[in-house]
Amino acid sequence: MSGFSRFTPLVNALPSTIPFVGPEAIERQRATKVKARIGANESGFGPAPSVLEAIARAAGDTWMYNDPENFELREALALHHGVSRDNIAIGGGIDGLLGEIVRLVVEPGAAVVTSLGGYPTFNYHVNGYGGRLVTVPYVNDREDLDGLLAAARGEDAPLVYLANPDNPMGSWWDADSVVAFARALPERSLLVLDEAYCETAPAGSTPAIEALIGQPNVLRMRTFSKAYGLAGARIGYAIGTIGNAQAFDKIRNHFGMARISTAAALAALADQAYLRDVVGRIAAARDRVAQIATQNGLRPLPSATNFVAIDCGGDGAHARAIVDGLMEHGVFIRMPGVAPLNRCIRVSVGPEAEMALLEEVLPKVLRTAGSNR
């Protein structure tokens, strides 16, 4: 029995890994407490008070399963976006929906086009279902639309991923360019348009819903994890044609959404005044991060997200030394995973106390990192 494995050959070939190491794991490994949690692109500003009240009201009903049709939330989102509720699919954050999309579309060995250094969780799902990643390098720290289009055509790829705004660089394309890219893709290629950061993006960067709602090879992904401050609630949704949205019903976990989380999302969507306030605070904190970077001789990249990528002027080893050095002071940040993006560190915005701690310790870390180069 020594050669027996109950797992599939695909699973046996996969590494035992996760796309991201969480700050909790780093705390355990280093016996160091995180004082500034500014690495996971969460919202340190938190959800609206009205959302916390809704969570408290819903707590007593947590003994019940959530509505398996997610009817009320789909209806609210449909009214918010001006579409039918049948154009909406709900899932456990964008991450959960990405896994379901790959399962729906990708057969073993099929080509999946994405950017080299783009969102690792998407790659994780593609690998997990046996897809073949075809990656296109960034150009000037932006996803290369022409390169992605050429790869999709050349591979006849059934799935293409584009994040706008982008993670991990914070860059973005204007809405007209995104729409033109989507319309130029082969009919066979389903575009996953990840718009997790659209609430924090500048005007003119997010296509209007009606611009792509009738296109059968586009699924737009949205989340309550970023500007709405509900990362721990795990609420994401897809917007697409009725056929695409309803396809999720064939494979999704119908009782997979938490009742409390759904109540939180409904309250968050209803409190657009709080969202506007938070978006303003995010923009101010982005400027604060950029200022801290500049005063330390680093180059902040323009950002349309709730984080700032900062060019540290070296290679990946130098950026890693800065990430590790900041963690020694309790400041948790992350960095892109592949060259040349990994010359940068990535700092999520947060409340002023966390920004002040970054400002205090970054010069000390840079001196140490510089002396070790």
The first and second tokens of residue 361, run together, are 């310790």
From CA 257, how far away is CA 71, in angstroms rounded? Answer: 12
pLDDT of residue 1: 44
Going by the DSSP 8-state scheme, the letter that residue 334 receives in this structure is B
pLDDT tens-digit readout, 255-293: 999 999 999 999 999 999 999 999 999 999 999 999 999
Percent of the chain topping pLDDT 70: 98
For residues 296-316, give the mean pLDDT: 98
Residue ranges of domains in the chain, CATH in brackets: 20-46+273-371 (3.90.1150.10), 49-270 (3.40.640.10)
pLDDT tens-digit readout, 112-160: 999 999 999 999 999 999 999 999 999 999 999 999 999 999 999 999 9
Residue type, 80: H
Residue 371 above 70 pLDDT?
no
pLDDT of residue 20: 82
Q: Which residue is listed with tokens 């976990």? A: 253
pLDDT of residue 369: 87
216 band by pLDDT with thresholds 50, 70 and 90: very high
Q: What is the three-class DSSP state of 293?
A: helix
Residue 34 above 60 pLDDT?
yes
From CA 96, how far away is CA 104, in angstroms rounded? Answer: 13
Residue 164 above 90 pLDDT?
yes
Residue 227 above 90 pLDDT?
yes
| Residue 168: closest CA among 119, 130, 132 | 119
From CA 31, how far away is CA 223, in angstroms rounded? Answer: 32
Report the chain's mean pLDDT, rounded to a whole number. Answer: 96
For residues 208-223, give the mean pLDDT: 97
**Dihedral angle sign, alpha carbons of residues 101, 107, 109, 110:** negative
pLDDT of residue 48: 98
pLDDT of residue 2: 53
pLDDT tens-digit readout, 241-253: 999 999 999 999 9
pTM for this model (two decimals): 0.95
The first and second tokens of residue 314, run together, are 């070296």
